[in-house]
Each structure stands twice: as structure tokens, then as C-alpha cells.
Chains A and B, each alone.
Chain A
């Protein structure tokens, strides 16, 4: 039954009730008159017998049993009526609330998608990660990826779980069909898709008999690569694709939404078909393990079994497996980078929402107080206290829910832009969407808000002292309501202080970080990953010649001043940490100090603009066969040699048994970006000549190298000429991930800038809301004090006195609010310092500045009501009394 039908029926029922009682009265009157009473007497007796008609009606309505619903309906219509009458008030409250709910909903949707939702695999709670665990720890901890022989043994021996595995970094250049392109690729075990419970969108999964040496090479490709290279043509299944010069038959295509623990991979090939000798070595790790528990098996049982397998392997292969067992961990996507940021933002938007609630509560309270007389009248006419409380709550619940619905609408539009605006990559971004959990959350929050800000007015519903309320109502303000009002304003100010101080902290941090010298000259510098032609990787001499050729080609590009080859670029993903020691005896692995090692060509210093402090950098003589040399940064010089007599010292690094000689010291580079570098685990830096990389490592190194060029024109303008020059050598030599160093440096601070922007907006909103709150409450309180002010003026108070009176009241609230807020922001500041890199605990300056901002804003907000109060005309004020 729709609302209007109920309305019609209700009206009809009321009418019938009235007719029925009237009929009874008329019959009774006629009877009594027949017995000889006169008309007036009969009427009086009949009414007496029946009792008060309204009471009888009320009891009949109660007897119908739909009373609660009807009341709710009545209250609801009453609320809509008041909302329509006070359009301004409604617009302000709904707008405030909608904004708060929208922001909270957007944040919660993102958190739900990224952090809370189970992974998009079949029965994700039955999936576990499998690691090797050692009885000792290195600086990286005691968890290791599996080695392939260990993986195979576990897979064969385990009866508690179905183990699948993969190995990253086996992409490369796809040269046919189409233009050569560098793609991500991984090596997988044949059962990976079945263990995850993922059905391919086309084609078939790997068969176990294909997962061995000599089987016909097959590949599964991602939906994205299929669209890119095959134009989404279904005939791609069965076609040949050349990856790193090796032809593969495409047998399947993953679903468009498939991500392997959050990463999108382009090509999947089989571990068992790969001829890389490292895969046969029981000491070389790199296999990621994931297992599906067999039906009925608990995680504890699986762990016990894996530990047992580990001990068997330890006995069999003591050299490689000593102290190693296998353990399981819950499967999850690594979201550590964004987790803290997301919770921080949810905290911030919750504060804004709370401020909005406090604001609305004080507005509603002001209205409730001015309606006190009306409420007293209702009580006098027979309304119960519970009924009035319920009416107040209905009003605020309706307000809360309509604000919430509006907010959800805004949030629906806001989620996309928010995710797009996120700096860098948001893991699981494709899973972020509004679902019923989020809707339930949003509606729950709105309802909670409604009840939160409706409670104070509702509890005020008058009880006793009706006469007093009726007589005085509308003219005075009780002490309790003044305290409540001040309480709301104090809360708002305290919350606003927290947001302001947080924004201030982030702002100062950003200023400080941006002013730091990154150690490289970021201007006119372009970097790009480079993949040599696969044909040149077959022998070391050809590889070295190909790199030299690439460098020469790059140098000839117009606009390029200098060019260098480097493996790890500062402020970009990827680094190489090695242990080093300064005396011939090699200390145990977990006691070796660590350094970031970078392999470079001689012009690297010139290209990057790094300052040489002592000694020399590399030249063309530093190649295999000559003495091994390194250049270290000042941090490492201090750490390894105490900073003195560094030149000529010897260092042992893990790559060969011969020591290398330190020939130069350079400035430290903020490799981890301005924010992260100070707290980075490994800060020491070491450079070694690419020409001295041993032959057996050359192929692996060549897969990782990038080219860096210093230009005398805008760096991006040489990107295309550089691409042509490099690819012209063989046709299948590519550069990719082309970035300017300015871009990389900016990207390393993007998260800080993003946070500052959002916190700035939140703090501004909070300030605005708090000012609105102060203004509203003061305007209300002063208007109630007009008679009192009239008396004061009549007794000789000047306009300044009155202004001072009002301002003192406001400043009292502001002072308490700021005090509480500062205490709370100390805690908030510590939380931010822990969650955001590079934030240092804030000095008094930030607190002081923010306090001044608030006091000034509060004074402006309270000046209007104060001035209005000072213009009170004593005569009319007293007459009003």
C-alpha cells in the first residue's frame, strides 16, 4: 500500500469513527428526551455517560494496533512540513551532512575495496602463502621465497594442500606479431589458475604434462595484451607469439579483471619449460608459493606437514636446506604502502563528519529551545514525554537519512575521480566499487548522525514545571541549555584544531622536503629502461658491444649532452642491496653492513650532476681484467671507514672473492626520495663500473639496465629521437618507462602533496563549520539575552561594554576548545608522524599559528552578533519584557 492510500484510508477511518460516536450520542439523546428530559439536559447526560469524545477516539485508535506506524507517519509528515517551511535551515543542514557523509562514504568504499574485501579468487579463505623460514634472520627477516627444487618437492610431498608457484621477472620483448614491445611476464606452475580458482576467459589452462623441459612451448596472455596485440581477435588462440626470440603458442587468455595479488602480468609461461640453470639450484630463491588447502584440512595441519617436509629435505640436502622449514601465511595483497594513508584519511573525514554533526546538533538545539513553549503546550494538551522525544528523534532521523541519501549520491560521483586522483598506484583499484556493505555503512552512519544530533534536543522535551515553561518559554535560556550549546561549540573548535594542526604539520613537512637537495640535478635529465635486442644477449662480448653501441647512438641524438647506462635510478622503483665488509674474513650474512649498489658507465656522474668529493670517478680503463674499483658516497665513507683516509681502502663485496679498491667519494643521493631517505634502512651507496660486471652475470644485469641522458633542451623532447636512435640498431631493441627526473622527484612527494591537499580542504571545511557554529550559537544566545542587555544598557553600559560581554562569552568557549584541541592534536600529530614518511613532530610554531587562525576566525564569527547586541534599544527591549 503506497503512502497516499494509507493517507486516504486513515482519513476515512477517522471520519467513520467520528460518525459512529455521533450516532451513539444522537441515539442516546433521543432516548433520554423520550424519557422526558429536555434537550439540553439530555445532551449533557449523554455526553457525561460517554466521556470525553477525544479520549474515546484516542483509545479506539490505540485499539486498532497500528498506532506506532501512524504516529511515525504523522511525525514524518510534520518533519517534512517543517523542513519545507525552513528552507534555509534545511539546505544548510542537509548540505553539511551530505558533504560529510559523501566524504566518509568515498573513503570507506576505497578502504572496503582495497583493504577489507576478500581477494577475488574462489574461496579465498582456503588459500595460503607458502614461504621458506630459516632459524636465523638476515636484515630482510627470516622469510624466503622458495627455491624451485624445494617447491617441486613440497608440491609432490604435500597431501594437505595443492601448491602452485610463480617467479617474477621473466618478461621481455615480444617481437611478433606486431611492433616490438617490452612486456611483464612471469613463470608459473601449470596449476596456478586452478589453485586460485580462476577460469580463463578464452582458451584453456596449462596441462601438467606441459610443465616439463622439452614440451612444446605454450603461453597464456592477459586480456590487456590480447586486446593490445591481437585486437581482441578470438583467433589469437593457437597463434604464435615470439617472446625473447622464442616462439610460443598462445593457448589461453585471462579474464579482464584477473590480477595476481594485485599485479597485472602480461605473459604467463611455464616454470618447467624454462631452461634457466638457476631454477635447478636448490640455493637460489625466487619462487612465490600459494597453496589451496584440501577439503577438511586446517591451516595448522598444513603447517605441521610442511614443517615435516622441511625437516626431511634438511636431512637430504644439509648444505642448502640447513635450518629451513616451510610455513604458511594468510594470503593477502601487499597494501602496506596505502593502508596507513587510507585509515588516516578515513580518520580525517570522520572528524569533519563529527564537526558537521556538532554543528547541526547546536542548530537543532537552538530550534528546540525556541520551541519549548510549543512543546509545553503539547504536554498540557496530553502529549506524553515519550511521544515528544520520539517526535524529535523522528525529525533528526529523517534529516540524517535524507542527508545520507544525498551524500551517497554525491559519493557515487566522487569515487571515480578520487581513485583517479590518487598519486601513484592504488592496489586493487579495480575492485573499488559501491556495494551493499558500503551502502549499509553509509545509511548506518547517517542514521547514527541523525540520532547523535537529535539526542540533545530530544532529551530536552519538557517534563515538569509546565507553567514555568509556558510563562517564560521563548524568552530566557536555562543554564543547562547554555552549557550544552557551549559544549557543541567547544567540540567543533577542538576538532577543527586537530585538523588544522595536522594540515599545518603536513604543509611544513612538504615545504621542508621540497627544499632538500636530492643530491642529483633533476633538471634536463631523462631516464628510460632499455631492453637490448634478445639476439645480442647470447654472448657477453656481443652484449657489451651492444651497450656501447646504444650509448654511442644516444650521445649522437641532438640535444643530448651526455649519456650513461645505469641499473637502478634514484627515486624510481627497484634497488640492489648488497652486504660488504672491510677485512678479508667474510662475516656471517646477517652481520654484514648493507649498501645500495649501482652499476654505472663512466659518464654517470656528469649525467646525474652528482658532486665528486674526493678521488676520481670511473673511466674506460676500469673494465674486466683491470683492478676492481668502486666509488662510495659520504654516508658509506663514514659508515665503513669513519670518513678518514677513504681513498685506496679495500672493500669486499659479495660479487667476487677479490677485494675492490675505493677510488672516489661522491655526495649522498636521496635515493629513496626526499621523504623516505632519512628513515631508509639502507642509506650507504656504492657505485661500481658496469664494465666490471662478470660475464656470468651480464645477461641478468642487461635485463635491468636503463639509459640516462642529460640534455640541453627540454628532456621530453628528446624522448622520441632517443627511441628511434636506440631501436634503429636491430629493430627489436626498445626503451620503455621513459621518465624525466623531475617527474620522478615530484612523484616521490606526490603522496605528501595529495595528503596536504585533502587535509587542507578538510581543515578549511572544519574551520568554516566551526565559525558557522560559533556564529549560530552566539546569535541565538545573544538574541535570548536582549532583555538582559536592555537592562544593562539602561543602567549605563556602553556599546563597547556590550560587545565585550558577548566576545568574552565567545572567547571563553574558543579558549577551552583550543586547549582541548591542542591536547588532541598532540596525539594526532604522533599518529601522522608514524603513518607518513618524513613528518617530524611539530614545533610550537604550527600550534601557535593554528591557534591564532582559529581565534581570529572565531572573533570574526562572533563580531556580528556582538555588534547586533550592542545596538539593542533599551526601551524596546524592556517593553518586550
Chain B
């Protein structure tokens, strides 16, 4: 079994929102897509995916409908709500700022070390 991902707190929600922003998707597809785009670096433990989906649905960031999937079975498809899109934008922006800041700090420490 692959090691559990060290996703920072709250990142999983952001990633889910980003993936779902591409179009309505069921839980298994979200897991697959996360794995593909992260090129297997981020392994989302499937056990925590569903509680996260339910939490986001409960907070009104995601909505869900039961629709037929590609294999012909009924599956629960999640889609982004307007509130979810807004949350995605602010979260993504703040994530960006955070990573830039961290990058700056890391770069600075390298220069001082030299």
C-alpha cells in the first residue's frame, strides 16, 4: 500500500474543488483524476475523500445529483456551486500567495547560507 500523502491541512478540499471545477464528476473519478494530474505524487487516501466530499456538500460548496455514469450505473455526481467557485478562487489565490512567500523565504535562506 502506498504511503499516505502528507497533504497540508485544507489542501485536499482545495484540490477537490479544483478538480470538480472541470465538470461534474463522481467520487471515484475525482480520486482517479487527482492521482493522474498529480502524477502519482499525491496519493489521496480514498478513506478521507468521501468525508471531505460530504463536508463540502454540507457547507454548500458542492452540490450532488444522481446520474448515469459511463458504465451505465447510477453514480453520485458532484458539481461546483457558485459559492464553491468563489471559495475556490479565494483559496487558490491565498494558496498562491502562501507558496510564493514560502518560496521567497526558502530562496533567501539559500542566499544567506552561501
Contact = CB atoms under 8 A, between A and B. Distances in A.
Interface in A32-80: 48-52, 55-56, 59-60, 62-65
A16 B1 contact: no
Interface in B41-86: 45-48, 50-52, 54-55, 58, 66, 69, 71, 73-76
Contact of B1 (A26, A30, A49): A49
Contacts of A60: 50-51, 54
Identify which of B26, B51, B52 gathers the most chain A CB atoms within 10 Å of its CB.
B51
A59 B46 contact: no
B55 A63 contact: yes
B27 interface: yes
B95 interface: no
A48 B4 CA distance: 13
A55 B47 contact: yes
Contacts of B47: 50-52, 55-56, 59
A50 B46 contact: yes
Contact of B28 (A27, A52, A63): A27
B76 A20 contact: yes
A392 to B, nearest CB: 28
Contacts of A56: 47, 50-51
A830 interface: no
A63 B52 contact: yes
Contacts of A27: 28, 71
Nearest to A21: B50
Nearest to A23: B75
A408 B17 CA distance: 54
B58 A23 contact: no
Contacts of A51: 45-47
Q: Secondary structure at chain A's binding surface: helix, strand, loop or mixed?
A: helix
A24 B51 contact: no
B58 A65 contact: yes
Contacts, number: 58
Nearest to B75: A23
A19 interface: yes
B46 A24 contact: yes
A62 B46 CA distance: 17
A627 B54 CA distance: 108
Interface residues of A, number: 23
A28 interface: yes
A28 B51 CA distance: 18
Given A48-B1, A55-B47, A19 B74 contact: yes
Contact of A59 (B51, B69, B71): B51
A499 B73 CA distance: 73
Contacts of A64: 54, 58
B33 to A, nearest CB: 13
Nearest to B2: A49
B76 A28 contact: no
Contacts of B1: 48-49
A742 B66 CA distance: 88
A24 B49 CA distance: 11
Contact of A28 (B28, B45, B48): B28
B47 to A, nearest CB: 4
Contacts of B58: 63-65
A28 B32 CA distance: 10
A64 B45 CA distance: 19
Interface string A4-18: 000000000000100
A62 B55 CA distance: 9
Contact of B54 (A23, A26, A63): A63
A30 B73 CA distance: 13
A20 B64 CA distance: 11
B45 to A, nearest CB: 7
B27 A20 contact: yes
A156 to B, nearest CB: 72
B73 A59 contact: no
Contacts of A19: 74, 76
Contact of B73 (A23, A50, A55): A23
B28 A23 contact: yes
Contacts of A26: 73
B46 A49 contact: yes
Interface of B: 1, 26-28, 31, 45-48, 50-52, 54-55, 58, 66, 69, 71, 73-76
Given A55-B47, A63-B54, A64-B54, 5 more contacts: A19-B74, A23-B73, A24-B46, A26-B73, A59-B47
5 contacts: A16-B76, A20-B76, A26-B73, A63-B52, A65-B58
* Shortest beta-carbon contacts, A-B, top 8: A51-B47, A63-B55, A59-B51, A63-B54, A27-B28, A63-B51, A60-B54, A24-B28
